[in-house]
Amino acid sequence: MPAADAFASSVSLCTWHWQKAIRDFNVATETLRAFEFEREEKVREVVPADAERLRWSCPGCGDRDTLWVDSLGETTRCVSCSFERDEREYRRRLTQSHLFHGFGKSVVYYLRFGPYLKIGYTGNLGVRLSNLVHDEVPAIEFGARKLEKKRHGQFRSARHTREWFRLTPGLVDHIEDLRASEAPERAAA
């Protein structure tokens, strides 16, 4: 009990109060563990056992660490507000939006695979997504190679290899800002 030892070394207590403080500390610790276990059990009732937790804030309630995606990457659910989205439909809408609006000839896409995020650009989002193995496409923004290079420079401290980056709080915040805007706007490239 390092925390109790640290507490005991900084406060003078009689033996009875010292023992009571340790008992209270143990009860509080057990209560917290039980609460965390109960919360995890509630999550497991809602999402499949092989689901993966996402790092993005929920579009419905804004809570972090409440979004889960199934093992096939088809459905995203929030355990707090019951938000649910068909990821295949979401990717299709992103692709159609890009093709319909025809903003320039390229987009900068953010593609997550496991704990890493690829920042790349393409002139044909649908073809590019079909050629890359990925878990999800959390965001896109309209722009060309110049914008891609700018994003690579902006997040260079999180670079894993070439176009792949570790998910840092700054990168997650940037993705959330892009996701917050319903229709991506043309970036000044």
| 8 Å CB contact between 91 and 137 | yes
Instruction: Give the model confidence (pLDDT) of 73-117 as tens digits.
Output: 677 778 777 788 787 777 677 666 655 555 456 889 999 888 899
pLDDT value at 10 more than 70: no
Tell me which residue range forms the domain holding 103: 87-180
Residue 141 belongs to what H/E stretch?
strand 136-142
Establish if 163 belongs to a structural domain: yes
Both structure tokens of 53: 């937790």
What percent of the chain is modeled with pLDDT above 90? Answer: 14
The Cα 188–Cα 158 span in angstroms is 24
Give Cβ neighbours of residue 38 (< 8 Å, ≥ 6 apart).
none
Establish if 2 belongs to a structural domain: yes
DSSP string across 67-131 = EEE-TTS-EEEETTT--EEEHHHHHHHHHHHHHHH--SS-EEEEEEETTEEEEEEES-HHHHHHH
Both structure tokens of 19: 């023992």
Establish if 70 belongs to a structural domain: no
CA distances (Å), origin 171, targets 29, 68, 108, 126, 158: 34, 19, 14, 24, 8
Q: Are residues 94 and 152 in the same domain?
A: yes
Establish if 79 belongs to a structural domain: no
Establish if 80 belongs to a structural domain: no
Q: Are residues 99 and 36 in the same domain?
A: no
Establish if 125 belongs to a structural domain: yes
Establish if 131 belongs to a structural domain: yes
Q: Are residues 107 and 176 in the same domain?
A: yes
How many structural domains compose the chain?
2
pLDDT at position 67 is 73
Helix (H, G, I), strand (E, B) or coil at 187: coil
pLDDT at position 174 is 92
Measured in whole angstroms, the distance separating CA 180 from the mean position of its chain's CA atoms is 14
Output 95 or 13, whichever has higher pLDDT: 13
pLDDT value at 49 more than 90: no
What percent of the chain is modeled with pLDDT above 70? Answer: 71
pLDDT value at 8 more than 60: no
Q: Are residues 106 and 162 in the same domain?
A: yes
pLDDT value at 9 more than 90: no
pLDDT at position 150 is 95
pLDDT value at 184 more than 50: no
Averaged pLDDT for residues 151-177: 91
- Buried b / exposed e along 50-81 (16+ C-beta atoms within 10 A): ebeebbbbbbeeeeeebbbbeeebebbbbbbe
How much is the mean pLDDT over the chain? 75
Averaged pLDDT for residues 164-184: 82
Q: What are phi and psi of 176, to 5 degrees?
A: -65, -35
Question: Per-residue confidence at 189, pLDDT binned at 50, 70, 90?
Answer: very low
Establish if 75 belongs to a structural domain: no
Q: Are residues 93 and 152 in the same domain?
A: yes
pTM for the model stands at 0.52
